[in-house]
Amino acid sequence: MIKKILYVSVIIGALIISSCGTQKIAATAEKSKATRESIDADSAALSNLQTEMVQKLGQQGVDSSINRKIVSLLSVLQDDLSKIQQTVDAVDFFLETKKNFRPNNYEEDVKDYVRRLDSFQLQKATRDRIYQLLDEAVKMEAFQKYGMGAFLSPEFTV
C-alpha cells in the first residue's frame, strides 16, 4: 500500500515538473516568434526610410547634414535590431534541447536571453514613435522657396 502511494506521488511529481518545463518551452517559443515578427516589421520600416532618404538625397530634397544625422540614426537602429536578432537566434538554439529548460540550466543560461526579448517587446511603443518621427523628418521638404517680400519692397519680388 505504501509502495503504491509512493509510486503515485512520484508519477504526479514527475508530471508536474515536466509540465512546468513544457510551459517554459512553449512560452519561450512564443516570445521568440513574436520578437522575430517585430524584428521583421521594424527592419522593413527602416529599409523603407533608408530608401526614401537615398531618393530625397538624389533629388536634392534633403540637406546633407540632416541626411548624415538620419542615416547615422538609422544605422544605430539597424545595429540594435541585429543584436536582438542574435538574441532570438540564441533562444532558438536553446529551444532545440529540452535539457536547457531544467531549473538550473534555465536560470544560468536561458533566462537572461528571455528577459532581453521581453524588454524588446516592452519598448515597441517607443520604437514605433521613433520610426514615426523619422518618417516625418524624411518626408519633410528641406528647401521651401519664399518670396523676398519680407525683405524687399514689392517691386523687387519675382
Task: Tell me the per-residue pLDDT of 97-147, one tens digit each, with 9 for 90 and over.
Answer: 887 777 777 777 788 888 999 999 999 999 999 999 888 887 776 555 555
Q: What is the pLDDT of residue 123?
A: 92
pLDDT average, residue stretch 68-96 = 90
**Nearby residues of 127 by Cβ (< 8 Å), 6 or more positions away:** 42
C-alpha pair distances (Å), 126 with each of 21, 38, 119: 33, 13, 12
C-alpha pair distances (Å), 128 with each of 45, 118, 123, 134, 135: 10, 16, 9, 10, 10
Sequence-ordered alpha helix ranges (H) in the chain: 2-58, 64-95, 103-105, 111-122, 124-139
Q: Say which residue, 15 or 58, is predicted with more confidence.
A: 58
Neighbours of 147 (CB within 10 A): 11
Average pLDDT, the chain: 79
